[in-house]
Amino acid sequence: MAKLPTPAELAKVSYSPPAKGWMEIKPDFRPGQYVNAADPKWMEWIDYPYPRKWSVPDEDWQLPSNWKEIILEGMEDRLNRFRSLKIFFDICVRCGACADKCHFFLGTGDPKNMPVLRAELLRSVYKRYFTRIGKALGDLVGARDLDESVIKEWFYYLHQCTICRRCSLFCPYGIDMAEMTLLGREMLASIGLNIDWALASVAQCYDKGSHIGATPQAFKDMIDFLAEENERITGISTPVSYNRKGAEILFVTPSGDYFADPGTFTLMGYLLLFKYLDLDYTFSTYAAEGGNFGWFVSHEMGKRLNTKIYEEAKRLKVKWILGGECGHMWRVCNQYMTTWWGESPTFLEEPVSPITGTKFENAKVHKMVHISEFTADLIKHGKLKLDPQRNAHIKLTFHDSCNTARGMGIFEEPRYIINNVLPEGHFFEMPPNTIREKTFCCGSSSGINANENMEARMQGGFPRANAVRYVHEKYGVNHLGCICALDRATLPTLLQYWVPEVDVTGITELVGNALVFEDEIERTTDLRDRDLVGFGEEEGAEEEE
Amino acid sequence: MAVVEHQGKTFEVDEDGFLANLDEWGPEWVDYVKELEGIKELNDDHWKVIHMLQDYFKKNGIAPMVRILSKVTGFKLKYIYELFPSGPGKGACKMAGLPKPTGCV
């Protein structure tokens, strides 16, 4: 792995444009900047085309002999199927409103990370082969021939876009860079160009049921372990039900929550909440993954992985689905799942909270509710006894995850929960242009949270980390909250690098800390075994793990 | 897929240097990772971690979550980092011959 520069070195970003025109400059595949090529075995597992051994720094990527035809036919096919793509290609006026809105441009200073130019990498090929003016005038009108260096450029820059859509928010035409990136990645996959981190996760999920490749017994083992941890810390037994037919609710969450810290503490929070409510729910070892790295690769693959959720809901005869804290899972489930399925599933009911009777009308079509919506509703109806003092050691700021916030408008629910589980004066917002719909991406989403591209990840996450540093220095913030498992995987690494004083936490973990059970044992620590402030004998002691 | 050679044995590894096939695991591989990790001498605690990882993997098809590793061995995370400077994933799992974890991790 490439040596990671120091934060001081990486913070020196040059925004001076190069002297040469953009078409003349080719990407420099420097270690630390790119994600490795997919191992052919993953491609074989999922029956993906042109599996072969190749490496990104290789001169020869061993493309299939007819690769150019495949790409151009693929582009034509997508132009016909996605009218949006043609419109996005045609209507951009190069106003530049998006240019400085991308976290990767802000972090790297590389002009091709300006969304306007990233789109141009694809648009120039569209112009050359699909517009009359481009065919006639070529580079005079920004059209260019498709050659291998163009493909390499796509590979580089379409994997330095995290489909966060911050640029789209500022685009006066609403051009959606994420859609272009996703379709561009599909075309790359059609000639056998995939990244290993995403494809390994996809293949494992397709074959075994989760991105981490957990077998059903491992899935159960891990969640049972976390239930035991709950009992050790709170004295409350939180038994878990798996694959139970006839349960009212199917609960689906990303594998990061049951495998990796700090997501595991959030999962403990879910279990405590469900026990508190005596909720009639079940996990499924088949629909064991809420996340969907397939969507980062192609719509077809996204659909293949997603289908398991409805299939399992049908088999188990549940009434509706509750989803854990996840970002892209949520965008997929809310905005793609029903389309992929073909219709609103008739075997499910419109979700109604069994505790408050609230009808989640926003989930009428896809029949799946986000845990933050569910919990905020419980608090609103006074159904949870909460002791915010148990989170008094936490000074929190909240990271809006791109997909739940910008994608779906979940802004208020997590904040409402936070304000009810933290003592007054313990929640601090980051600057307004870095939160809510203007939130900055973690910099590592969309399947690029690998190790080998760490330098690029730290650059891409710089704007987010910078805002965290601001509230840390100004208010003493020591925790960054989020409702996304990918965030819980990527932000600890990012903050360890830029703001090591700040830890990452899920919001349901804070709920788990604050929930007061009638028959609980005396609580002296939080779910991470850290001493509480103002409880027990040693006041104010905060122990790091 | 790269190949590394150590003490006369060859091993197929992925691009992160993890062993491609657990069946190829043996003392030469352990010695190779030991040098990579800058570990002077392997003690009983190193072996306790390696054996736990392999047993869990054989039973469950996946590396254990760090907290399970910690509970079963009785070693705090900090101590595991003392044993394996690159940590439980990149250090211990690599030495034990397990594949690298993927997904939201």
pLDDT in tens, A89-107: 999 999 999 999 999 999 9
Higher pLDDT, A441 or B99: A441
Task: Look at residue A281 and give its three-state secondary structure.
Answer: strand
The CA-atom distances, in angstroms, between A35 and each of A176, A439, A486, B1, B11 are 24, 25, 17, 15, 23
Partner-chain contact B62 A196, CB within 8 Å: no
Residue in B with minimal Cα distance to A296: B103
Outline where A147-238 has alpha helix (H).
148-158, 166-170, 177-190, 196-208, 216-234
Residue of A124, A112, A106 lying closest to A10 (CA atoms):
A106
Are A255 and B104 inside 8 Å of each other by CB? yes
In terms of C-beta density within 10 A (0-12 exposed, 13-18 middle, 19 or more buried), how is residue A18 classed?
A: exposed
Shortest alpha-carbon distance between residue B62 and chain A (Å): 6
Task: Tell me the chain B residues in contact with residue A200 when contact means C-beta distances shorter than 8 Å.
Answer: 102
- Cα gap A420→A216, rounded to integer Å: 36
Looking at the structure, tell me whether residues A216 and A178 fall in a common domain: no
Query: What part of B 19-48 touches A (C-beta under 8 Å)?
Result: none
Return the pLDDT at A537: 56
At residue A544, the pLDDT reads: 46
At B100, the pLDDT band (50, 70, 90 cuts) reads: confident
pLDDT score recorded for residue A536? 65
Distance separating alpha carbons of residues A283 and A316, to the nearest angstrom? 10
Asked if A197 lies within 8 A of B104 by C-beta distance, the reply is no
User: Is A542 domain-assigned?
Assistant: no
The structure tokens listed for A301 are 């693959």
Q: Which two tokens stand for residue A125?
A: 């090929």
If asked whether residues A294 and A180 sit together in one domain, one would say: no
- A479-482 vs A503-506, strand pairing mode: parallel
Domain carrying residue B54 = 2-96
Cβ-based contacts of A208 with chain B (< 8 Å): 61
Residue B101 confidence (pLDDT) above 90: no
Identify the domain containing residue A185 by its residue range.
Answer: 7-30+49-193
Using CB atoms, which residue from B59, B90, B103 is nearest to A255?
A: B103
Among the partner-chain residues B15, B61, B76, the one whose CB lies closest to the CB of A36 is: B15
Q: Is residue A157 part of a domain?
A: yes
Decide: A267 and A275 in contact? Cβ < 8 Å: no
Strands A503-506 and A320-323, sheet pairing: unpaired
Find, in chain A, the residue whose alpha carbon is nearest to that of B57. Answer: A218
Quick check: is A545 in a domain? no
* Same domain flag for A182 and A212: no
Tell me, what CATH number does B65's domain have?
Answer: 1.10.10.370
Let me know if residue B48 belongs to a domain: yes
The predicted pLDDT at position A513 comes to 98
Tell me whether residue B104 is in a domain: no
Q: Which residue of B has its CA nearest to A220?
A: B60
pLDDT of residue A1: 64
A172 touches A454 (CB < 8 A): no
Catalytic site includes residue B104: yes
Shortest Cα–Cα distance, A487 to chain B (Å): 8
Out of B15, B67, B104, the one facing A256 most closely (by C-beta) is B104
Return the pLDDT at A540: 46
Low-confidence ranges of chain A (pLDDT < 50): 539-545
C-beta atoms of B14 and A39 within 8 A: yes
